[in-house]
A = this chain, B = another copy of it.
Amino acid sequence: MTKSLNSNFKRQRRNQKSAQELVDGILSGNKADLAQGITMLESSKPEHHRMADEIINGCLPHSGKSIRVGITGVPGVGKSTFIEAFGNHLIEQGHKIAVLAIDPSSQKSGGSILGDKTRMETLVRKEEAFVRPSPSKGSLGGVAKATRESIILCEAAGFDFIIVETVGVGQSEIAVRGMVDFFLLLMLAGAGDELQGIKRGIMEMADALVITKADIEEKTKVKAAMTEYKNAMHLFPPHESDWIPVVSSCSAISGEGIEKINEIIGSYANTTKLNGFFDKNRTRQDLKWMEERVNELILESLKNKNGFQEKSNELATKITQGKISPFRAAEQLLKDLNIT
């Protein structure tokens, strides 16, 4: 009781909105409230968890009506420039777009390597766009969780085209693939995929592969790269969606090929909505989400139980003294708490 009063008091002092106020703001399309809601999702403070849950539950009934697109490619491929050009094109077509980023790569310093704030300059100034940099700290799991939940909030705020950008080349793509409808891989012509660090596993996940900077590179080089990638993609097992991945090219500067990418995504959505894969994929993602959320809730509730922290600290001391192995200590902890 005192605690709750206390936190109410603090909230008022800081002029922070309640969960319901934020939900109302988000549903009315207020970008400041959307940003504040996402900040709650990203917060690691336990006192923000309940508020985050309320916001998500408030937004969920109004979510789902967007196309969710994951975009990846190595640093240097021109992701931001592409997203800026593509996003502006989508806005011209009447869309409202949200750009979220997953980049848990610079864990040690906790800072984003890309200096997100200076990117996508024209896009961030548009009323119809919402650009949110990646949370600057946290594990991939935590960052991915926050991004998945942010999608819900963006959709509730009326954004109908969600772009999830990922900077890494590897594990984070798998996380993103698990939360989007369409996965787009950007590549450079002529750099060779070995050096680009693009791995088979990433190419296999792509629904489209687009060669960027088609204005700078020689036409023959772009064509050769497209042929090479088309051949490579043919060797992969067919997608469960029955969609045949498309290889294309574009220039974010001249705008050439940008419109085509939107058409490809539209065609993918039509095809997979007709054959049932679109919904099947979303349901599967939802089931996975439930599973992850269950794990999270279980661990949260047990670790708040009486004695957990004390016992855990005792065993940690023993590990530090070399008296017990971490493996045995874990077993002991569960036994002491009657969990097994």
Contact = CB atoms under 8 A, between A and B. Distances in A.
Given A171-B104, A325-B60, A326-B286, A298 B109 contact: no
A1 interface: no
A152 to B, nearest CB: 8
Contacts of A325: 57, 60-61, 286
Contacts of A106: 199-201, 204
A203 B75 CA distance: 15
A293 B330 contact: yes
A195 interface: yes
Interface in A107-143: 107-109, 113, 140
A328 B289 contact: no
Interface string A167-201: 11111101000000000000000011011110111
Interface string A142-172: 0000000000000000000000000111111
Total copies of this chain within the assembly: 2
A113 B169 contact: no
A120 B301 CA distance: 48
Nearest to A201: B106
Contacts of A75: 194, 197, 199
Nearest to A294: B330
Interface string A298-329: 11011000000000100110011000011111
A202 B283 CA distance: 35
B297 A331 contact: yes
A53 B328 CA distance: 9
Binding site secondary structure of chain A: helix
B108 A201 contact: yes
Given A108-B204, A170-B169, A295 B299 contact: yes
A287 interface: yes
A76 interface: yes
Contacts of A202: 105
Nearest to A312: B294
Contacts of A140: 140, 171
Interface residues of A, number: 67
A90 interface: no
Contacts of A61: 325
Contacts of A195: 74, 76, 191, 195-196
Interface in A246-305: 283, 286-287, 289-290, 293-299, 301-302
Contact of A299 (B293, B299, B331): B299
Contacts of A290: 315-316, 319, 326-327, 329-330, 333
29 contacts: A56-B327, A61-B325, A74-B194, A74-B195, A75-B197, A104-B171, A105-B171, A106-B204, A108-B205, A113-B199, A113-B200, A168-B170, A168-B199, A171-B172, A196-B197, A283-B320, A289-B327, A290-B316, A290-B326, A290-B327, A290-B329, A293-B327, A293-B331, A294-B334, A295-B299, A297-B339, A298-B302, A298-B334, A299-B299
Given A290-B319, A298-B334, 13 more contacts: A57-B325, A60-B328, A76-B192, A104-B171, A105-B171, A105-B201, A107-B174, A169-B170, A170-B171, A290-B316, A290-B333, A293-B331, A298-B298
